[in-house]
Structure 1
């Protein structure tokens, strides 16, 4: 099976190279890995103690960020290596000052993996949520380097739990410790005889609570809001944007702050056309002139600020639910606003929890969206109650970061004791 896996990895790399001339992210993926190993060798010291954190993309980085920052505070003498697989994470966080080294993850070829481990010689590795690169898992295990998966979540539909996936299950046995989000994940791991895990929850809740407590100054946003009822729409996609445009037409008393998932020029132009009747304003252009008083929609065409903007709304809509899956619900819920999302939420525990406690609402189409949004805006008491439920849920789920650091500490302390005993 390892042979077939390696064939897949080589094929994956080949397909990305084929796509690169035609697809921007593929070009970034290739360009970012050019001279990767020589760049790594130039910066790392020979006698440094390195701990390695890996995030697939930006969302996983934000999920693991509280652990990275808590680790820095708890273990200041260690150097932190942060890797990303995708350009959307690396390009936005390549200058993140919470890590000493930030690089793309090399493709999971055996030769790449051996060289990577030889360069950094990490004392411990932490993978955030998922991305099971089996050659990396094998090499870490071979070198007796502890490997943790944090904020991990498992579903019975995943291939690990299929009858034919025995080899993949065997690879998971080489992971040192799984810190999972919920009991369902724990039960699934138990079902395949993986018992080295514990339920600690999702570190995203710690991250969004920290953001919500930060004081921010967005004078342009405040000018736009101007005491109006506002719906903040985050990580939106075209299917949801069609519904939002129709709702602005029906409810002429509200305004919208809309932060699309993709902010390329083509998509921004499509949004401007779609919302043309409501005098759309781009956030990037607000520094040139005051916001038009007629405008009822402010389009956020800048990355990195959405998590601070939900505080300006009475209701939130989080996109992705008409495609592969919803985006970050706790990011909105932490501000005490009810959260609306689309129908494709099944794999997301927080969506089920928010539906259950009354802080979240799912919609299937324009009609159901109108019904939910109208009720929230027209019944303030109901809206406030739903918002409080959403916030209480986030606060209840916090605390995973502390437990994660405590578990990591066990292994680092054990390493130090072993090193001291060898030197006696």
Structure 2
């Protein structure tokens, strides 16, 4: 079966995939940048690794996008701390990761090379990695198979169960099974995923599946430590500010009109609005929605101007400001729950913020944990959002308990990256 899948993958699936990517790259500059970047990978690797000594410790980390990178960032730091002279190679599938990941611990950053058998084989002979570490789910057939044939250990961090694991009539069930079976160690976030993965993989002497937790918690903890203590007020000492974070049009359409009506009744409430991808068009639309109800609004282009601005609504027109903003507000609505999936819930939790989000959260373990420990709330419609918001802003005891639960969740999940590092470095 494996030989048949190998032939189908190399003669049909992967060439067809590249053809689709090429077609999409004509219309999308991000896809185009990633596609072109793959053809530069071999040159970059040759330039870097031809100078590397043959006995060097080399760890190759691969992830799809920036979100997955944040999961492995503390693991990279941990390995570099324990193996000071090791070389870290980091590869990405998506431009969102390649363009935004800046890490002094990374020695070489590239796009994932084209997954042709001979290309991968020659690259692994050049790089000679001691271990290859994948984040979550971006697995490539030839990459994993060739690594196994060359006796290179592979590790998968943050593995999740998939629907096709139990669907024996699904083609994906048979495509991915040999890949998972070929991975040396698999680390899951929760026990259920570990159980399902063990059942899917079946008998395999080289297999080890461990429930480890999510190392991304350590990443948000480390980032929070970089924020000055003077900017970290206890929840009850903060101004009456509601933060809309990582908002897209689907979430905006559910909650915006309700938020405006609530502001009209509660004159002491302020709003900070951060779009997932800020644009002039979206900012102008938001401005018009607030100003037509005589609510003062400003577009902020610098976080330094935040405190001096007296408008009741502040629209943030920059990226990368959320980590600091979470410490200035009392409640956060996190976008994505009415579209592709709720965005980062860990950053507001580390700031002790109660969070509210939409119903598309089941793929995110931290969302399930937040709901279970009652530090966050899921809504199905805008009226529910206002009910929860009103209860939090007008009941200091409930706000304080919810804030404490958020911090407790972070504390409970700290230290995972150290366990992952130890497991990677062990034989």
Normalising by structure 2, we get a TM-score of: 0.87
**2:8 maps to what in 1?**
4
Give the Cα–Cα distance (whole angstroms) in 1 for the partners of residues 222 and 73 of structure 2: 11
Moved more, 2-11 or 362-371: 2-11
C-alpha distance after superposition, 1:155-197 (max 9, x if no partner): 4x2x233214234212211100011111101110221226511
**1:330 maps to what in 2?**
346
Moved more, 180-189 or 345-354: 345-354
C-alpha distance after superposition, 1:274-298 (max 9, x if no partner): 5555444333257689854234123
Q: Classify 1:108/1:265 alpha carbon distance in 2 versus 1 (closer, same or farther; 3 Å).
A: farther
- The number of aligned residues is 403
8 Å CA contact 1:67–1:405 kept in 2: the answer is yes
Cα shift at 1:19 = 1.8
Give the Cα–Cα distance (whole angstroms) in 1 for the partners of residues 358 and 379 of structure 2: 5
8 Å CA contact 2:302–2:318 kept in 1: the answer is no
Is 1:36 matched up with 2:41? yes
1:79 to 84, 87, 90: 87
C-alpha distance after superposition, 1:108-167 (max 9, x if no partner): 232332233233111111111221211111011111111101122224x2x233214234
- Unaligned 5+ segments in structure 2 are none
- Residues 8-407 of structure 1 mapped to structure 2, 5 A cutoff: 8-44=13-49, 45-47=51-53, 48-93=56-101, 95-155=102-162, 157=163, 159-164=164-169, 165-192=173-200, 193=202, 196-216=208-228, 228-252=239-263, 253-277=268-292, 278-284=295-301, 292-299=309-316, 301-407=317-423
Give the Cα–Cα distance (whole angstroms) in 2 for the partners of residues 410 and 54 of structure 1: 20
Q: Once superposed, what is the RMSD of the aligned Cα atoms?
A: 2.5
Give the Cα–Cα distance (whole angstroms) in 2 for the partners of residues 254 and 126 of structure 1: 46
Give the Cα–Cα distance (whole angstroms) in 2 for the partners of residues 34 and 366 of structure 1: 47
Give the Cα–Cα distance (whole angstroms) in 2 for the partners of residues 8 and 186 of structure 1: 28
Partner secondary structure for residue 88 of structure 2: strand
Cα shift at 1:265 = 4.7
Partner secondary structure for residue 191 of structure 1: helix
Give the Cα–Cα distance (whole angstroms) in 1 for the partners of residues 255 and 314 of structure 2: 10
Moved more, 11-20 or 277-286: 277-286
C-alpha distance after superposition, 1:205-253 (max 9, x if no partner): 111122222224999x99xxx9531122222111212344324312323
C-alpha distance after superposition, 1:252-279 (max 9, x if no partner): 2322222222235554454444555544
Cα shift at 1:341 = 0.9
Normalising by structure 1, we get a TM-score of: 0.88
8 Å CA contact 2:139–2:179 kept in 1: the answer is no
Q: Classify 1:319/1:245 alpha carbon distance in 2 versus 1 (closer, same or farther; 3 Å).
A: same
Give the Cα–Cα distance (whole angstroms) in 2 for the partners of residues 268 and 360 of structure 1: 27
Give the Cα–Cα distance (whole angstroms) in 2 for the partners of residues 197 and 261 of structure 1: 35
C-alpha distance after superposition, 1:362-402 (max 9, x if no partner): 00111111111111112121111111112111211222111
